[in-house]
Amino acid sequence: MTGPHRAFLGLGSNLGDRISYLREAVAAVPDLAGVSDVYETAPVGGPEQGPYLNLVVQLRTRLGARELLGVCQSLESAAQRVREVRWGARTLDVDVLWVDGETLTEPDLVVPHPRMFERSFVLIPLGDLAADLLPEGFNVERAGLEDQVVRLDRLGNLVPSSDPC
């Protein structure tokens, strides 16, 4: 990509000190332009596990999707993410959701993220930053999602705690 453009990453954590993992990851995101509120959500798919804390970050960057995937993997590595079970519990999960002007379909990376418009834990925090990317007419109450996603607060206002999950 050439000039600066918008890009969005989705972050989630449901192991250990979830808030600290998110806080440390957000602090390390390059070209950060915005951070959604934090939302608590039930896990989707995978084995039985504890609830997630989710947020979306906006970047104003020159990085393309492939480079952003590298950023995501570095953030997960710094949080000592272990990949044992597909959709299993994790210290940190970071996904490339959207990169303005870029569409990519490769075995290890699809942009826009193929399930972002199906997941309330992505759509609701994304709406905090980029309502223009939400499906036309999307409304949390009308979609019946208000019980599935609980807005907690801004990341900086949340107190870290040890989570037994």
pLDDT one-digit tens code per residue, 111-128: 999 888 888 889 999 999
Give pLDDT tens digits for 51-75. Answer: 999 999 999 999 999 999 999 999 9
Give pLDDT tens digits for 6-32. Answer: 999 999 999 999 999 999 999 999 999
Give me the domains of the chain, ranges plus CATH numbers.
Answer: 5-155 (3.30.70.560)
Q: Please, how many CA atoms are within 13 Å of residue 87, restricted to the half-sphere of its CB?
A: 7
Written in H, E and C, the secondary structure of 94-126 is EEEEEECCCCEEECCEEECCCCHHHCHHHHHHH
**Coil, strand or helix at 153:** strand
- Single out the residue of 105, 145, 103, 142 nearest to residue 124, CA to CA: 145
Provide CB contacts within 8 A for 125, sequence distance 6+.
Answer: 10, 36, 37, 38, 39, 54, 55, 56
The burial class, CB within 10 Å (0-12 / 13-18 / 19+), for 109 is middle
The model scores a pTM over 0.85: yes
The distance from CA 123 to its chain's CA centroid, rounded to whole angstroms, is 10
Question: Is residue 75 a contact partner of residue 47, using CB atoms and an 8 Å limit?
Answer: no
State how far the Cα of 43 lies from the Cα of 56, in Å rounded to an integer. Answer: 16
Q: Where are the beta strands (DSSP E) in 51-101?
A: 52-61, 93-99
